[in-house]
Amino acid sequence: MLELDDLHAGYGGAPVLKGVSLRVQEGEFVAVVGPNGAGKTTLFKTISGTVAARTGRIRFRGEDLSSVPAARRPHLGIAHVPEGRQLFPSLTVMENLEMGATTAAGRRDWAENLARVLDWFPILKERRNQLAGTLSGGQQQMVAVGRGLASSPHLLMLDEPSMGLAPAVAEFIFERLAEIRRQAGLTILLVEQRVAEALDSADRGYVLEAGRIALEGPQETLRRDDRVRQAYLGM
């Protein structure tokens, strides 16, 4: 579904991604983990088009994205749930969810998508008329995920969904993502610092360090790797 080949990107004269190659197959849950400053958020911004690739290639469902503007990529089926949630705090929960349904598929499937989001995150049904800025951090993250799902994506990209959340709330979010994947058959690409939780949820993973892929493989293989255990799992 998603193929990155020798991708280079950065800001100004500073390179961030230095030859990243990865694959995400239809229906997979893939995690990209690594320390702060490794380039994880830049990776997502480059896929979604808000940061331009300098060299390399991004293909999504067989289409080369090099000439596809950022505003067009959601219409191809790419939903990017950004780091820090980035909701509209003065809009209600429902209005924020509706902001995700701007694609043709999202408008077509709005009623079905809304019902599923409220089923996966029941608290949002109770808070549907509440301003998003007054929600707890965990509830805001649920809205952000729901907004992404409202576009009827083929690929859901989640950037640090556990950021700023208490461990129990982060665990609930990861459980919901696994359930969404099982029920909807959705392809998920996750960037996350909570390596143990990310690998528990994922089929495969990549370790990104200093803008390069340092390790890759099935989640069981990465969890057994001494480098991952020592650097990221505290073992």
Q: Quick one: average pLDDT of 35-59?
A: 95
DSSP secondary structure of 88-157: -TTSBHHHHHHHHTTSHHHHHTHHHHHHHHHHHSHHHHHTTTSBGGGS-HHHHHHHHHHHHHTT--SEEE
Q: What is the mean pLDDT of the chain?
A: 95
Provide the pLDDT for residue 201. Answer: 87
Angle between helices 93-100 and 137-149 (to 10 degrees): 30
Q: In the prediction, which pLDDT does 186 show?
A: 96
Which of the two residues, 130 and 192, has the higher pLDDT score? Answer: 130
Identify the bridge partners of residue 133 per DSSP, sorted by sequence position.
Answer: none
Provide the token pair at 31. Answer: 């995690």
Question: pLDDT value at position 35?
Answer: 87
Q: What is the CA radius of gyration of the chain?
A: 17
Decide if pLDDT at 24 tops 90. Answer: yes
As a whole number of angstroms, the distance between CA 232 and CA 225 comes to: 10
* pLDDT of residue 235 exceeding 70: no
Instruction: Report, as an integer, the average pLDDT of 39-65.
Output: 97
Does pLDDT of 112 surpass 70? Answer: yes
Confidence of residue 13 (pLDDT cuts 50, 70, 90): confident
Question: pTM of the predicted model, to two decimals?
Answer: 0.94
Question: For the purposes of burial, counting CB atoms within 10 Å of the CB of 67, is it exposed (0-12), middle (13-18) or buried (19 or more)?
Answer: exposed
Report all structural domains of the chain as residue ranges with CATH numbers, in order of start: 26-52+72-233 (3.40.50.300)
pLDDT at 230: 85
- The H-or-E segment that residue 218 falls in is strand 212-218
User: What's the confidence (pLDDT) of residue 111?
Assistant: 97
